[in-house]
Amino acid sequence: MDTRYDVIVVGSGIAGLSFAVKMAEAGKRVAIITKKNSAESNTNYAQGGIAAVTSKTDDVEMHVADTLEAGDGLCHEASVREILRDGPECIEELVQRGVAFSQLEDGRVSLGKEGGHSKRRILHVQDVTGKAIEEALLGAVNEHPGITVLEHHFAIELITAEKLRQRGLDVPAEKNCVLGLYVLNNRSEEVETYTTGVVLLATGGIGQVYQYTTNPPIATGDGIAMAYRAGVEVVNMEFIQFHPTAFYSPGGDRFLISEAVRGEGAILRNLRGEAFMSGYDERGDLAPRDIVARAIDSEMKRSGSRHVWLDVRHLSAAFMQERFPTISQYCTSQEIDLDTGMIPVVPAAHYLCGGVKTELDGSTSLSGLYACGEVACTGLHGANRLASNSLLEAVVIAKRASLAVASFLAARGTREEDLPPWVDGDLRDSDERVVLTHNRDELRQTLWDYVSIVRTNKRLQRARTRIRNLQREIDEYYWNFKVDSGLLELRNLIEVAGLVVECALQREESRGLHYSLDYPKKEEAPTDTAVQLGDPCLADSLSYE
Ligand code: FAD
Ligand code: SIN
């Protein structure tokens, strides 16, 4: 089996696939490591669409203004402008790769609207935009002989010069840099060692850290945890976007009801049937997500209800079926008649605005490590992402990263050296493994209860204490037992939960998605929060290497 590649991509969502195709087209040997089937990703479930300026009545500067407004003073304005400017060209490339965006009857592209956008500018494929993009990109990947896709392979840890040095091993590099990757092959259950000078983390978000989330099970923050353990700076982790409208089901599933439904005129109502959003913001139901999610939270707390309603009756079931077939089918499966009944909705953890700090070419502070997509923080989203800007950011940065990596490889060449094999714990399955399930549940509930839409110092401190206890317990398993993906995911979830809390405690103000009752005001000159292994504030967190 080949274990040496010019470039290894971790993750097969929009970011990883877009980058891999470009690198292969540039003649590089590429491996994609992905922990489930290759289509399984947040990307695959994206509904609303991808935001970009494609209409003559729109303007990139208006898209910039909307993004800055939603980001609540924390976006990096120059980055916003550069990323959004590249948007239309990247959309055209998706079309060339076969993404058939929905059209109006007259042949013009159908543009949706979502919260915070002053114009209709969301390209979509009905309500299955992510699936259509995923299929097109996977088609391009599978056709390219230069790309090896390794499904059911779980990336565990980056191998860096610094880590080898700390283990007293010979290091084939002077400066700290990426040398390879340890990967658990879930079929053979063995950990494999891969050699490469470039790793692109495209592992997506962290939704699974919360009890209620729109994210699929893959969203466990693995890339952020890996980068953090390799000493790379992680920023703005407190900015968790709660999507206002996930379908409320008592069992805990949270199927997304796209914001585009409100874009077409759906109305949020409380349990008394009152449309409440205009009482919170003049933009009403289409205010940015942080505002809508807080308003729903407040309505639910005030009435003691478990959900609010989304009213689409005036739009008609026939329209809903035509424009939002997947959502309509889901509602029907839950016995909601969209002509006569309303949809029960609640906020759920949806998107991470922070992540591994990168430049606009995806590079990080570690030589050879790149990150792209939801795992990364480029400065585009600030304190609150504008709807449908994430798919766009992923394709734009993937393209820029591919150019940067081609130059990096031209200057540095490919790594070919042998690396030390993984050393596993010697204990196998234990009856006590049920503890892992309990710990995962406890972690997710802790974040939901104490690090949610409205925060206080006391709640954050309480979460910090619990997370540290969980971290100590999981550490014992990690070092003593043979690893499996359940253990690895839990370890990563605990790690990123700790980073969310540390960033939340650092931010002594309320801004965007971080709303604290202890600090209701905004700082005049806000900065990004940051966490890095070895920070004094994290001194009693566990360090792994
Ligand atoms: P993902 O698509 O999540 O892919 C991550 C990949 O990494 C997966 O293949 C996963 O298996 C793999 N992976 C993770 N860890 C490991 C590991 N340790 N080893 C190996 N592989 C690993 N955004 C929009 O802009 N517009 C929308 O309409 C929209 N709708 C959304 C609807 C839903 C329900 C959700 C959940 C999100 C939505 N978003 C939307 C957000 C957007 O989908 C994501 O931010 C985006 O798809 C992330 O892409 P990505 O490539 O970074 O990560
Ligand atoms: C949605 O369709 O509401 C999700 C859009 C997004 O998360 O950007």
Which is more confident, 429 or 340? 340
Whether 202 is in the pocket of ligand 1, judged by its Cβ within 6 Å, is yes
Residue 545 reports pLDDT greater than 60 = no
- Give 169's contacts (C-beta < 8 A, 6+ positions apart): 420
Alpha carbon distance 170, 165 (integer Å): 7
Q: What is the mean pLDDT of the chain?
A: 95
Ligand 1 atom closest to residue 375's alpha carbon, by position in its atom list: 52
Tell whether ligand 1 has an atom less than 6 A from the beta carbon of residue 385: no
Q: What is the pLDDT of residues 162-174, one digit of tens each?
A: 999 999 998 877 7
pLDDT at 542 over 50: no
Confidence of residue 125 (pLDDT cuts 50, 70, 90): very high
For 380, which DSSP code? S
Question: How far does residue 374's CA lie from ligand 1's centre (Å)?
Answer: 7
Nearest listed ligand to the Cα of residue 241: 2
User: Catalytic site residue 289?
Assistant: yes
Least distant ligand from the CA of 262:
2
Q: What is the pLDDT of residue 323?
A: 96
225 close to ligand 1 (CB < 6 Angstrom): no
For residue 388, report the distance from its CA to the centre of ligand 2, in Å.
6
pLDDT for 410 beyond 90: yes
* pLDDT score recorded for residue 536: 59
Highest CATH level, class, for 434-538 = mainly alpha
Take atom 12 of ligand 1 and give the residue whose Cα is closest: 11
- The verdict on the CB of residue 10 being under 6 Å from ligand 1 is yes
Residue 321 CB partners (closer than 8 Å, separation 6+): 328
Could you give the 3-state DSSP secondary structure of residue 134?
Answer: helix
Q: What's the CA-to-centroid distance between 45 and ligand 2, angstroms?
A: 10
Tokens of 271: 């349990």
Mean pLDDT value of segment 12-16: 98
The number of the ligand nearest the C-alpha atom of 391 reads 1
Ligand 2 centre to CA of 49 (Å) is: 7
349: which 2 tokens? 């953890």
- In CATH terms, the fold of domain 244-348 is Flavocytochrome C3; Chain A, domain 1 (3.90.700)
Whether the CB-CB separation of 114 and 263 falls below 8 Å is answered with yes
Q: Cβ < 6 Å from ligand 2: which residues?
A: 47-48, 258-260, 351, 387-388, 390
* Model pLDDT for residues 399-408, shown as the tens digit of each residue: 999 999 999 9
* pLDDT tens-digit readout, 440-451: 999 999 999 999
Q: 78-108 pLDDT, tens per residue?
A: 999 999 999 999 999 999 999 999 999 999 9
Distance 129 CA to ligand 1 centre (A): 13
For residues 178 and 234, what is the distance between their CA atoms, to the nearest angstrom?
17
- pLDDT tens digits, residue range 31-65? 999 999 999 999 999 999 999 999 999 999 999 99
Q: Whose CA is nearest to atom 14 of ligand 1?
A: 203
Domain ranges of the chain: 244-348, 434-538
The catalytic position among 289, 294, 491, 507 is 289
469-498 confidence digits (pLDDT tens):
999 999 888 888 889 999 999 999 999 999
Cα-to-centroid distance, 422 and ligand 1 (Å): 28
How much of the chain exceeds pLDDT 90, in percent? 91
Please give the residue that has the higher pLDDT: either 103 or 541.
Answer: 103
Beta carbon of 160 within 6 Å of any ligand 1 atom: no
Measured from the CA of 48, which atom of ligand 1 is nearest? 28
Whether pLDDT at 424 is above 90: no
* CA triple 152-221-15, angle to 5 deg: 70
Q: Is the CB of 127 under 6 A from ligand 1?
A: no
Q: Which residue out of 42, 199, 358, 492 has the highest number of ligand 1 atoms within 8 Å of its CB and is therefore the one to mutate?
A: 42
Confidence of residue 539 (pLDDT cuts 50, 70, 90): very low
- Output the CA 277–ligand 2 centroid distance in Å: 19
How many residues are there in the chain?
545
pTM of this structure: 0.97
Packing angle, helices 389-412 and 14-25, rounded to 10: 40
Give yes or no for residue 274 having a pLDDT over 80: yes
Residue 260's closest CA among 429, 462, 49, 448?
Answer: 49
Q: For residues 89 and 301, what is the distance between their CA atoms, to the nearest angstrom?
A: 45
